[in-house]
Structure 1
Amino acid sequence: MPDTPALLLVGGTGFVGGYFASALEAAFPAHRRVLLSRESDEAIPRGWEVGKADLLDPQSVENLVAALRPQVVVHLAAQSHVVSDAEATWRVNFGGTFALASSVARHAPEGVFFFSSSGEVYGRSFKDGVATEETVPRPQNAYASSKLAAEGMLSDVLPATKRLIVTRSFNHTGPGQDERFVLPTFAAQIARIEAGQIPPVMRVGNLSAERDFLHVADVVDAYVRLLTHPEPESRVLVNVSSGHAYRIEALLELLRKASKRPFEVEIDPARLRPSDIPRAVGDSARLMQLTGWAPKRPIEEILEELLEWWRGRLAHPTPQA
């Protein structure tokens, strides 16, 4: 229907997108919901239609946005692993975001543009303490630098008539997250040790770091609240964080206690990520004041759910296409 408002979700087939797509369907039932996809064989959530485009092909993005004229744009897509190839990271995180933003500015200047940035942008400033939105960003890798640059670009390129919401999201996890991330790799290794698939040795990186963790469902709840909150400001920037520092070694010990088989712990140099930030924590008071949001899932529940999910995945592996 021509008068039906449209919502465009970019990055909806990723880890967070899988959770967010369902929440958006519930929050925007009257919208035409379109998920940008470059692959015809990607799994598309029920209740969504495909909008064929590739962020690295600006003309395809232009064509899709011009045809759809989305009132709501939700942009989650990113080269997300911090040790990814720097050039590819900048192409996706900045170049792809610029292609989307410039098309939206021309063809859909009204409504809302939601951009998922990262707490990684604070970088070296974590040495000064807990990061608030007023903390000066000092990124330390291509992922964080490209995210910060995209934030500034969006503020410039999008017209004031397009409300811009930027979330600096801290670590979040849950069932389905890639094993390259620390908590899923712990849970996956334990499940394999229990199943007898690998020797009883946990291979780890730096265990002394302290990090801020949330459950992905709590992050999605924050995102939906921001999108549906009647905030009159045209530019909104918030941290999405727990406000708590969890030592990686302590989280591993909680998982060790839940393991059905004992195991040794061995440092794997390949898993050591170059960083001199011992503690990274975010303050989400602004988000809480603005929307009433608060995280609901304690870290113990998060870890238990991760481990059970990996146990189930090994017991019932997904058939390969």
Structure 2
Amino acid sequence: MTSPVSLTITARPGERVHHQQREIQSIMRSTARLPGRVLVTGAGGFAARPLLARLAEVVDPDAGHVALFGPSGADAPAALPACFRPEACDLVGPGAIDAIVGSARPDIILHLAAQSSVSASLTGGAARTWDVNLFGTRQLAEAVTRHVPAATLLFASTVEVYGLAFRSGRLDETAATAPQNPYARSKRAAEDLLLDTLPASTRLIITRMTNHSGPGQAAQFVLPSFARQIAQIEAGLAEPVLHVGNLDAERDFLHVEDVIEAELALLMAAPGLAHRTYNIASGAPLPIRTLLDRMLAQARTQIEIRIDPARLRPSDIPRVDVDPGRLMAETGWRPAVSLDQLVTDILADQRRQTGSQTGSSTGH
């Protein structure tokens, strides 16, 4: 096995464009303030880490915000925004979330905690998926009802709840749902639980999120999986073969930064929103092959693509076409980070991780 080589890479014109796009996107971020005390569940998750940093820019730093991590707190980052107090919490443990909500008295709750892997829910993890996604949500709902019935609660659901309904074409929030895996079914059940059990005084926002990715996402998800394999091949740690599943499936992808801006836009508009359920998506599905091609265009070596039957899901929906019109009309939100920037960020992150594992620089 060859050793990784340290390279110095000069930015190509396209990379400079990506940098300019990122500057434009940062300028477009809302500067409005988010009043009140915030509590975030699942704070150790991929999407929560950049969310906490973004929230720190718009909340009162002295309000006493809380970030909930796993039962042992092992998923808490070394550095947390100073305005957030970390708390370890077993969401399904008796009384754990009730005690924290009762003590913190949050005005705004972002409920992100979940078992969010479809593949894990299909391969022996169904019981855990239901425990966290439904029972954990039930315990949170009971705590909100008991202690902060007038709070705003944003629940992170998924477009997976539509399932087989996507066979009829483009879907908005009024479409029937037909979830096809334990993850999606548990999320749909949690939506119903919140709608049925929270008091009318609670401002509930359900966000059905499309596929979103970015730096820090686990390699079990499709785009980081591609990027991890490419980074390992470039470093000489794997043969030049990239193993893939169904590349013809059409999916709607967003950068995690765009998802965060959508969540903030909904929270800012919470008192005046006309609905409770919102799709967060670009509205422009693409074949997964297209995103892989964009990533391979940045690879530093020739790579063979090989279909791996183990990566093919029998329940794959050919095309996921989500209508985000309600979100756009009521908040003015639009996605701002390009797909080219998305794949660039993911690949850079996996190259960095691979370089750290080998103790060598990969030039980034």
Instruction: Write the distance in 2 (CA, Å) between the matches of 1:267 and 1:77.
Output: 33
Q: Structure 2: which amino acid aligns with 1:42?
A: D
Equivalences for residues 153-168 of structure 1 within 5 A? 153-168=193-208
Instruction: Write the distance in 2 (CA, Å) between the matches of 1:218 and 1:40.
Output: 27
Instruction: Write the distance in 1 (CA, Å) between the matches of 2:266 and 2:43.
Output: 18
Query: Does residue 139 of structure 1 match 2:179?
Result: yes
Q: Structure 1: which amino acid aligns with 2:95?
A: Q
Q: Structure 2: which amino acid aligns with 1:58?
A: P
Match of 2:133 in 1: 93
1:279 to 315, 319, 324: 319
Query: CA, structure 1 residues 114+124, in 2 after alignment: closer, same or farther (shift >3 Å)?
Result: same
Instruction: Write the distance in 2 (CA, Å) between the matches of 1:140 and 1:73.
Output: 28
1:109 deviation in Å? Answer: 0.6
1:317 deviation in Å? Answer: 3.9
Query: Does residue 63 of structure 1 match 2:99?
Result: yes
Query: CA, structure 1 residues 318+145, in 2 after alignment: closer, same or farther (shift >3 Å)?
Result: farther
Say which SS state the counterpart of residue 167 (structure 1) adopts.
Answer: strand
Instruction: Write the distance in 2 (CA, Å) between the matches of 1:231 and 1:71.
Output: 13
Match of 2:305 in 1: 265
1:251 deviation in Å? Answer: 1.7
The answer to whether the 8 Å contact 1:125/1:137 transfers is yes
Query: CA, structure 1 residues 302+54, in 2 after alignment: closer, same or farther (shift >3 Å)?
Result: same
1:16 deviation in Å? Answer: 0.3
Say which SS state the counterpart of residue 81 (structure 2) adopts.
Answer: coil
Instruction: Write the distance in 2 (CA, Å) between the matches of 1:39 and 1:146.
Output: 24
Say which SS state the counterpart of residue 185 (structure 1) adopts.
Answer: helix
1:149 deviation in Å? Answer: 0.7
Match of 2:65 in 1: 33
1:181 deviation in Å? Answer: 0.7
Equivalences for residues 97-108 of structure 1 within 5 A? 97-108=137-148
Deviates more, 1:38-47 or 1:102-111: 38-47
The answer to whether the 8 Å contact 1:73/1:114 transfers is yes
Instruction: Write the distance in 1 (CA, Å) between the matches of 2:170 and 2:113.
Output: 27
Match of 2:240 in 1: 200
Match of 1:178 in 2: 218
Deviates more, 1:267-276 or 1:237-246: 267-276
2:161 to 121, 137, 149: 121
The answer to whether the 8 Å contact 2:43/2:113 transfers is yes
Instruction: Write the distance in 2 (CA, Å) between the matches of 1:41 and 1:143.
Output: 24
Q: Structure 2: which amino acid aligns with 1:46?
A: P
Match of 2:349 in 1: 309
Match of 1:247 in 2: 287
Unaligned stretches of 5+ residues in structure 1: none
2:269 to 198, 219, 229: 229
The answer to whether the 8 Å contact 1:245/1:280 transfers is yes
1:276 deviation in Å? Answer: 3.8
Instruction: Write the distance in 1 (CA, Å) between the matches of 2:304 and 2:312.
Output: 18
Instruction: Write the distance in 2 (CA, Å) between the matches of 1:254 and 1:53.
Output: 40
Deviates more, 1:210-219 or 1:306-315: 306-315
Say which SS state the counterpart of residue 205 (structure 2) adopts.
Answer: strand
Match of 1:43 in 2: 76
Higher relative contact order (CA 8 A, sep 6+): 2
Say which SS state the counterpart of residue 258 (structure 1) adopts.
Answer: coil
2:47 to 16, 26, 31: 16
Q: Structure 2: which amino acid aligns with 1:172?
A: H
The answer to whether the 8 Å contact 1:110/1:162 transfers is yes
Say which SS state the counterpart of residue 83 (structure 1) adopts.
Answer: helix
The answer to whether the 8 Å contact 1:204/1:268 transfers is yes
Match of 2:29 in 1: none
- Percent of matched pairs sharing the same residue: 42
1:318 deviation in Å? Answer: 9.7
1:78 to 97, 102, 114: 114
Provide the aligned length of Structure 1 versus Structure 2. 316
TM-score, normalization by structure 1: 0.94
Instruction: Write the distance in 2 (CA, Å) between the matches of 1:129 and 1:108.
Output: 40
1:50 deviation in Å? Answer: 2.1
Say which SS state the counterpart of residue 198 (structure 1) adopts.
Answer: coil
Q: Deviations over 1:272-300 (max 9, x none)?
A: 12224100021101101111100011111
Match of 2:334 in 1: 294
1:249 deviation in Å? Answer: 1.5
Instruction: Write the distance in 2 (CA, Å) between the matches of 1:119 and 1:299.
Output: 19
Query: Does residue 219 of structure 1 match 2:219?
Result: no
Instruction: Write the distance in 1 (CA, Å) between the matches of 2:274 and 2:202.
Output: 7
1:43 deviation in Å? Answer: 2.3
Q: Deviations over 1:207-255 (max 9, x none)?
A: 1101000000000000011111153358521000011111112221222
Output the aligned Cα RMSD.
1.7
Query: CA, structure 1 residues 65+318, in 2 after alignment: closer, same or farther (shift >3 Å)?
Result: farther
Unaligned stretches of 5+ residues in structure 2: 1-34, 360-364
TM-score, normalization by structure 2: 0.83
Instruction: Write the distance in 2 (CA, Å) between the matches of 1:230 and 1:67.
Output: 24
The answer to whether the 8 Å contact 1:164/1:235 transfers is no
